[in-house]
Amino acid sequence: MSEFESDVEVEPETQVKQLDDPFCNPATPHSISFSDISTAAFNIRDGIIITPTTKSPQLSLLLGMEVYNKKEFLQVTGSFKERGARYSLHRLTAEEKQVGVTAASAGNHALALAYHGQLMNIPVTVVMPTFAPLMKISACRSYGANVILHGKDIGEARTHAFELAKTSKQKYINGFDYPDVIAGQGTIGLEILEQVKNVDAVIVPVGGGGLIAGIALAIKTLKPEVQVIGVESESCASFHNAMHNSHFKMQPESSIADGLAVPTVGVNAVYMARGIVDELVTVCEESIALAILRFLELEKSVVEGAGAVGLAAMLSGKLPQLKGKRVVNIMTGGPGGIAELTNVIAHSGASIKDIFHERAWLAANVFEVRVRVVVETREREHAMELHQILKDKYTHVTLYDKKPHFLMNA
């Protein structure tokens, strides 16, 4: 029995005024069916990667449970968002495909729409807030998307995107609450049940809620005894708040799991999740940072903060009932900052020979980690050019003129 099962309707006065989006309206929330998810799985199977779900002997030993990781970060653009994006584009009418779509996103949803829009020859406009990572902005443009930078946060970007959509007649695709997006994300649940027999629980990172709503529907339809547990950062527990109090909006704080820091959760997602999500837990920033490090050390995988919250919940003892159980943890996205750093170095023309990741996160700031990289450059001028590129992008950069002490025995 879910702790959120309720027949209570959300009172209008407790809801936050939404954009005039007919597909995400608090007054008339939409729900999808299991057949929508199975139809999505059939129609996107040739366009996305059926990602592996592999057992982790190291994490299983560390945590005292049988841990499997669903590696959604292996999608081409690095996150599960491709599923919902692909299915949403597939479902457009012929006329809508000619006109195109508009979305607001700081990263993964924009990347997914841009990539699949290019593959399917559908025009895509993405509005990204001004703080969006340069690498993701460039990647969206490389996929042919019309990228517009607007707003100091995702809320302002979304408002601008919706106004553009009304003017251009393009369909606005909400990244976590559009019904076809939820159906696409739900296909992960089908794959998990096919790949892992007798699973006891599935742990899902939660931001806007579309991912857990879709996965929970898929899993509970086929195997209602499987626990579906959501995890979000305590710095922006919007979904937890909405499920308990019917407040759909909060002001997010800075979070290492910035992909989950959604100020307004999906009204459709909350409506669907009631009664099928068993538990929601929150985790602190330090535990997320530790989880990212453990993935790097034990799994040799670089994931973003949003993709590490499930492991953070297990490491911090938030899910003691799972001891001895078979658990699937969804690694929703990546790569993180280290991969971005390697891309910057590679684009400069330098060759990376080795990389050293500090074993401990800097105590002064959980959002920083020290990385030492050995690179080969053409000549000293090239080295100085790379040094300047890195100084322009990162706060603390040191160039060693000679072999540093930590390589003396190498």
| Mean per-residue pLDDT over the chain, rounded | 84
Burial grade of 219 (CB within 10 A; 0-12, 13-18, 19 or more): buried
Determine the pLDDT at residue 153. Answer: 78
Fold equal for 82-172 and 337-407: no
The domain ranges of the chain are 30-80+178-331, 82-172, 337-407
With b meaning 16 or more CB within 10 Å and e meaning fewer, what string describes 107-142? bbbbbbbbbbbeeeebbbbbbbbeebeebbbebbee
The DSSP line for 12-51 is GGGSPPPPS-TTS-TTS-----HHHHHHHHHHHTTTS---
Determine the pLDDT at residue 364. Answer: 42
Q: Which residues pair with 331 in a beta bridge?
A: 71
Determine the pLDDT at residue 368. Answer: 52
Determine the pLDDT at residue 70. Answer: 95
Determine the pLDDT at residue 190. Answer: 98
Number of C-beta neighbours around residue 148 at 10 A? 16
CATH for 82-172?
A: 3.40.50.1100
Q: Which residues pair with 147 in a beta bridge?
A: 126
Q: Which residues pair with 327 in a beta bridge?
A: 67, 201
Determine the pLDDT at residue 42. Answer: 98
Residue of 200, 218, 211 whose CA lies nearest to 178 = 211
Q: With contact defined as beta carbons under 8 Å apart, do 142 and 121 qualify?
A: no
Q: With contact defined as beta carbons under 8 Å apart, do 360 and 368 qualify?
A: no
Question: How far is it, in rounded angstroms, from Cα 92 to Cα 173?
Answer: 11
- pLDDT tens for each residue of the chain, 410 residues long: 455 544 334 333 333 344 567 788 888 889 999 999 999 999 999 999 999 999 999 999 999 999 999 999 889 888 999 999 999 999 999 999 999 999 998 888 999 999 999 999 999 999 998 877 777 888 899 999 999 999 887 788 889 999 999 999 999 999 989 999 999 999 999 999 999 999 999 999 998 899 999 999 999 999 999 999 999 988 777 888 888 775 555 565 556 655 666 777 889 999 999 989 999 999 988 888 888 888 888 887 777 778 889 999 999 999 999 999 999 999 987 754 555 666 677 778 888 766 655 433 444 444 455 667 788 888 888 888 888 888 877 777 888 766 554 444 44
Q: pTM for this structure? A: 0.79
What DSSP designation does 264 have? Answer: B
Q: With contact defined as beta carbons under 8 Å apart, do 104 and 127 qualify?
A: yes
Residue partners of 371: CB distance under 8 A and separation at least 6:
338, 341, 355, 356, 357, 358
Q: Which helix (H) or strand (E) holds 103?
A: strand 101-104
Residue of 130, 40, 53, 129 whose CA lies nearest to 85 = 40
**What is the topology classification, in CATH, of domain 337-407?**
Alpha-Beta Plaits (3.30.70)
The predicted-structure confidence for 155-198, as pLDDT tens digits, reads as follows 888 899 999 999 999 999 999 899 999 999 999 999 999 999 99
**What is the topology classification, in CATH, of domain 30-80+178-331?**
Rossmann fold (3.40.50)
